[in-house]
Chains A and B, each alone.
Chain A
Amino acid sequence: MLGKAVCFPPAIMLLVFLFVSTNSYSNKLEHTLFILSKDTPDYRKVVNIITADWVKSKKYGYTVLIQDQKDEVDKLLKTSDIIVTLGTVAADRVLAKKINQPVINTLITQSAFDSLAVKYYGDKAKAIASGVNPIILDQPFERRLNLARHLLKNITDVGVMLGPSAADRFSFYTDSINQRHLKPQMLVIDPDKNPIRQLDPLIKTSDVFIPIADSHFINVTTAKWILQLAYRHRVPVIGFSYNYVAAGALASVYSSPEDVAKQSIELIDALLTKDYVHQEHLPEYCTVKFNETVAWHLDLSIPVELERNTGPCDL
């Protein structure tokens, strides 16, 4: 399939142009299908960054579809050389088809991918072996822990909240903290209980608080209370998204669209090589953002060298 030029009739091309609202050219045999979970600016941004160079060099042909364009998606899934999904829902749709072409799942959390892989392939290894190549959205916990260490020199107690999905990695987190001679303060949140009553003792006793991304529900339900309790107890929070830092976390280490796009480009190029082995990809790049107001409130100074913008994550 790779290197094979795909020739589309003009009518189909026009149809695709009109309904899919995407750019494509077919003078190359290689064709990439981008499937978006939703038509959001962030998803578009990632696709645009990926394809920006392709447009200039006329390197590859591609099509961008939204996952709910079922007919088009199903049709192009059969004819495309590489499938790139953006978001969990798009990944769910593609993995459900168990196609033969290589698949790149971007903008998907570790827990979400693990769940889909088990769901459609029995386990993650089979999924990967079938040509599924996830680029995990979650920045490794260590990066946030390292950032905390660099930012907060005298910390000892590191509070970590785990959701049900991450509960099985409890030891991983405690080990990571311990390896750095810090004291873990761990909490596995119970969704059925008052989160404040659970979080308040933890945050009160922590020097820094690092929430672990879990299901979306857990994330948004606890974030408000985490931030308010952290504010009340003057405990810095190291978040995992841009929105976290915008909502009141002291800092966040996260994967920006540029980070994801850059790694995706590299992965697509890698897929074209004969010796590439399908595998799970942790985020190669990261972005670090700080909330100056919170820093001022916590009477902290932010070292400029800690900021990161779409580059290799050396934290």
Chain B
Amino acid sequence: MRYFSSLNSISSRLLVTGLIPLSLLSMLMAYYFISHQRAEMLGNLLETGNIAVRQVSQNTAFALYSGDRQSLDSLSYATLETPSVAGIMFFSYTDQEPIIIGDITVEKIPENFERAEPFEFDGNWYFFAEILSERTPIMDYEKTIQYEPEKIGWVLVSLSDQLMREKELSFFLTAATVVSISLLLAFWLSIRISRTVSDPLEELTAVVAKMESGDLNGVAPEDGITELAQLSRGINGLATSVRESNQLMQSEINQATSELKVTLVKLEEAMRAKDQFLARMSHELRTPLTAVLGFSNMLFTEESENKREEQLRVIQRCSTVLLTMIDDVLDFSKTEQGGFNFNNSVFALDKFIEDLAALFRLQAEEKGLVFNLELDHKVPTTIYSDSVRLAQVITNLVNNSIKFTESGSVDLHLTRVDSDKDHDHLKFVISDTGKGIVKDKIPTLFEPFTQEDTSINRQYGGSGLGLSIAKRLVKAMNGEITINSEVNVGTEVTFTCLLDKTNQAPEALVLSLPSERVATSEDILSGTSILLAEDNEFNQKFMVKLLERHGAICAIAKNGQEAIEMAEVGGYDVILMDLHMPIINGIEATRIIVERNEHYLPIIGLTADITESEQNKLLSAGAQSIQLKPVNEEQLVNSILELVGIQSQTVKFSGEGMLASVLPVEELKQAINKNLDSLESCLHADEKMQIRPLIHDLLGFCGLYGMTGLREIVLELKSSHAVLDNAKNLQQVKHIRQFVKESSIFN
């Protein structure tokens, strides 16, 4: 195999293809010359013999006829001097006696020697001829009379082929030598020729191999055979092209890398800001939550009606703060995930601004400030835009001004900058006489999770997302936002927006102000049959208790499979579907139920996952709405009412806190501790397959009851338990247990 594989190389093939014909040619030529030489030597021998026998027969006729042995000897010896002539035998018909001269004997002559043609016998060639006497035409008038020549006798000339064989051997040796030299020469020539082709090809192959391994600096020789030189030029050109491309690509990579580094730095900064934000958020969320929980607990023991009312107000205020912060975060999350959804409508701009101004004025007055509104007369009365988003921007900016102004005033000035037949270009200027902002901090204010300094957060609170959200909203409305500020003088924030003109009548505006159309009822869900699909036993109890307090009739499905089966049986007005469940998850179960049920059966998804992707999946599967965990009792009940069509109005719950009233704190604590015990047991037993469902249950508790801090450290366990050893996982479980122990929820 190795031998045959070596024949696959070009040099071997060229060698073989060159050597074989040359070898064959040399051998054929040798064969031809040897055979030709042999034939020629034989021809010479035969010719010599023929001449000799002819001469002897012609010249010795008289001597033989006359019996002149002396003359016969003399003539014969002259012939015997001819090379190869060995002997001569005469026979005279007159004497009937053979005359032998030289190396020939009567005993040795072959039979049938009287042949016209020469023949070989016993290593000698024999030539026979009759000895004739021609008739001399001496008559003058009878010339035409012809007589046969008179036969006097015959002669047999013997020629030895020894000399011919010696010459033949000599020539054969010479030819063999010449052929050997020719073969060697052919071999050498074939190697040279094959190398003239194979060497450049091997060099080219080496260059290509180098190129393949990434070394593009190899240069193929461009001399030698024309085609190979052309190929070399092509390869060199290709290498140059690839090298240049690589350099260009490397340059682009370097540029991209440097850009990436810059981006990475920015990202790191953003992440750092986000971490700071999260830390702050954690603090900010914990603070009102702690207050809410603390005051909620106090409500159980507080007997004074006034104090209970005061405690409830604190709880409400803290909850509002929490809600605002969560809304900000959700808004920002929306912008991060693809922008805002604008629900444009025609509304009266002047009325809109004046309503807002009334709210701002109230807030300002509560702080001892003056709020001034100035509307330019060119400002259009009606516009086509999203009033909620516009209000969100204005409110954010004005609230900031009110927040950071301790004395003086806050002004809102609205003008129309430009207008064409389709658009109005409006400019809003919010100015205050607050503490002002350091100039070099102004550019960073629009970055998310950024405030002028950390003390602001501690002093004034806020998520640090307000200006970032406002800027993105303004940009979405084809406008710009700028800040001019002077420390201890005040700040002026200006934003513009390009709004569509409209001739339509304005719609009634519904601002996010406390609604007067509020109904309260503890039996509002009376008669409503609800299927609760929830795998967590504690959550089941909690949700059932909550819904039954409003008069609902609840049935429980422990997983998606049960939910599907129970839904098929029917009899439910609405299904509350948890997202993460064993056997079949909430999304899949929703899809199947919607597919299988011919009748309308509304499904409300329950999830602690705030990402839109998960929510979209659930909605795509067929859910009508989604309620985020921790469950907002009011939103949940209103959502059920809306879907089942019992009440078209929004239900407003009293501030007594029904959710808190149904929360079985001690049971929750026990459930969590039981879960943690199981978790520790599994870790000790190294039963990792059981860890994941337990963590999921823990996350369910956190989601349902909004235990964000707990959720974070449980999530940390979830993400790291697979890669950490059991000792570290147990350490984390211990940490969670300590967190639960110290949590204000359970104290």
Q: Which of B134, B137, B141 contacts A137 (CB 8 A)?
A: B141
Interface membership of A220, Cβ < 8 A: yes
Q: Which of B62, B65, B137, B144 contacts A243 (CB 8 A)?
A: B137
The reply to whether A40 and B138 form a contact with Cβ atoms under 8 Å apart is no
Interface membership of A149, Cβ < 8 A: no
How many residues does chain B have at the interface if contact means C-beta atoms less than 8 Å apart? 20
CB distance from B623 to the nearest CB of A (A): 144
The reply to whether A243 and B140 form a contact with Cβ atoms under 8 Å apart is yes
Q: Which of B67, B94, B141, B147 contacts A220 (CB 8 A)?
A: B147
Known contacts being A196-B65, A200-B66, is A42 close to B138, with CB within 8 Å? no
The reply to whether B139 and A219 form a contact with Cβ atoms under 8 Å apart is yes
Known contacts being A217-B147, A220-B147, is A40 close to B141, with CB within 8 Å? yes
Question: Contacting chain B: which of A63-71, A224-232, A269-277?
Answer: A224-232
Known contacts being A241-B139, A247-B136, is A40 close to B65, with CB within 8 Å? no
For A244, list chain B residues within 8 Å (CB). 138
Q: Mark B128-158, 1 if CB is under 8 A from A, else 0.
A: 0000011111111111110100100000000
The reply to whether B144 and A40 form a contact with Cβ atoms under 8 Å apart is yes
Nearest chain A residue, comparing its CB with the CB of B145 = A216
CB distance from B69 to the nearest CB of A (A): 14
For A196, list chain B residues within 8 Å (CB). 62, 65-66
Q: Which of A223, A228, A239 contacts B62 (CB 8 A)?
A: A228
Known contacts being A200-B66, A228-B62, is A43 close to B141, with CB within 8 Å? yes
The reply to whether A221 and B144 form a contact with Cβ atoms under 8 Å apart is no
CB distance from A287 to the nearest CB of B (A): 10
Q: Which of A107, A200, A220, A254 contacts B135 (CB 8 A)?
A: A220
The reply to whether B66 and A220 form a contact with Cβ atoms under 8 Å apart is no
Contacting residues of chain A (188-241) with chain B, CB-CB under 8 angstroms: 194, 196-197, 200, 216-217, 219-221, 223-225, 227-229, 239, 241
CB distance from B721 to the nearest CB of A (A): 142
The reply to whether B140 and A224 form a contact with Cβ atoms under 8 Å apart is no
Q: Which of B62, B66, B140, B145 contacts A42 (CB 8 A)?
A: B140
Contacting residues of chain B (277-302) with chain A, CB-CB under 8 angstroms: none
For A223, list chain B residues within 8 Å (CB). 135-136, 138
Nearest chain B residue, comparing its CB with the CB of A241 = B140
Interface membership of A25, Cβ < 8 A: no
CB distance from A251 to the nearest CB of B (A): 13
Q: Mark B141-177, 1 if CB is under 8 A from A, else 0.
A: 1111101001000000000000000000000000000
The reply to whether A194 and B147 form a contact with Cβ atoms under 8 Å apart is no
Known contacts being A196-B66, A197-B67, A200-B66, is A221 close to B135, with CB within 8 Å? yes
Q: Which of A194, A220, A227, A239 contacts B65 (CB 8 A)?
A: A194
The reply to whether B139 and A197 form a contact with Cβ atoms under 8 Å apart is no
Interface membership of A121, Cβ < 8 A: no
For B62, list chain A residues within 8 Å (CB). 196, 225, 228
For B66, list chain A residues within 8 Å (CB). 196-197, 200, 229
Nearest chain A residue, comparing its CB with the CB of B92 = A194
CB distance from A227 to the nearest CB of B (A): 7
Q: How far is the CA of A220 from the CA of B133 in the complex (A)?
A: 11
CB distance from A194 to the nearest CB of B (A): 5
Known contacts being A196-B65, A228-B62, is A254 close to B138, with CB within 8 Å? no
The reply to whether B65 and A225 form a contact with Cβ atoms under 8 Å apart is yes
Q: How far is the CA of A224 from the CA of B145 in the complex (A)?
A: 16
Q: How far is the CA of A267 from the CA of B142 in the complex (A)?
A: 23
Nearest chain A residue, comparing its CB with the CB of B142 = A216
For B137, list chain A residues within 8 Å (CB). 220, 243, 247
Q: How far is the CA of A216 from the CA of B146 in the complex (A)?
A: 10
Q: How far is the CA of A224 from the CA of B61 in the complex (A)?
A: 11
CB distance from B144 to the nearest CB of A (A): 6
Interface membership of A60, Cβ < 8 A: no
For B65, list chain A residues within 8 Å (CB). 194, 196, 225
CB distance from A39 to the nearest CB of B (A): 10
Interface membership of A131, Cβ < 8 A: no
Q: Which of A42, A107, A221 contacts B150 (CB 8 A)?
A: A221
The reply to whether B133 and A242 form a contact with Cβ atoms under 8 Å apart is no
CB distance from B63 to the nearest CB of A (A): 10
Q: How far is the CA of A241 from the CA of B144 in the complex (A)?
A: 15
Interface membership of A262, Cβ < 8 A: no
Contacting residues of chain B (161-204) with chain A, CB-CB under 8 angstroms: none
Q: Which of A42, A217, A224, A227 contacts B141 (CB 8 A)?
A: A42
Q: How far is the CA of A196 from the CA of B145 in the complex (A)?
A: 23
For B134, list chain A residues within 8 Å (CB). 224
CB-defined A-B contacts under 8 Å, sample of 26: A40-B141, A42-B141, A107-B141, A194-B65, A194-B94, A196-B62, A196-B65, A196-B66, A216-B145, A217-B147, A220-B136, A220-B139, A220-B147, A221-B135, A223-B138, A224-B134, A225-B62, A225-B65, A225-B133, A228-B62, A241-B139, A242-B140, A243-B137, A243-B139, A247-B136, A254-B140
Q: Shortest 7 CB-CB distances between A and B: which pairs?
A: A220-B135, A224-B136, A223-B136, A223-B138, A196-B66, A244-B138, A241-B140
Point out residues on B near A: beta carbons under 8 Å. 62, 65-67, 94, 133-145, 147, 150
Point out residues on A near B: beta carbons under 8 Å. 38, 40, 42-43, 87, 107, 137, 194, 196-197, 200, 216-217, 219-221, 223-225, 227-229, 239, 241-244, 247, 254
Q: A87-B141, A196-B65, A241-B139 are in contact. List 4 more A-B contacts (CB 8 A).
A: A200-B66, A219-B139, A220-B135, A243-B140
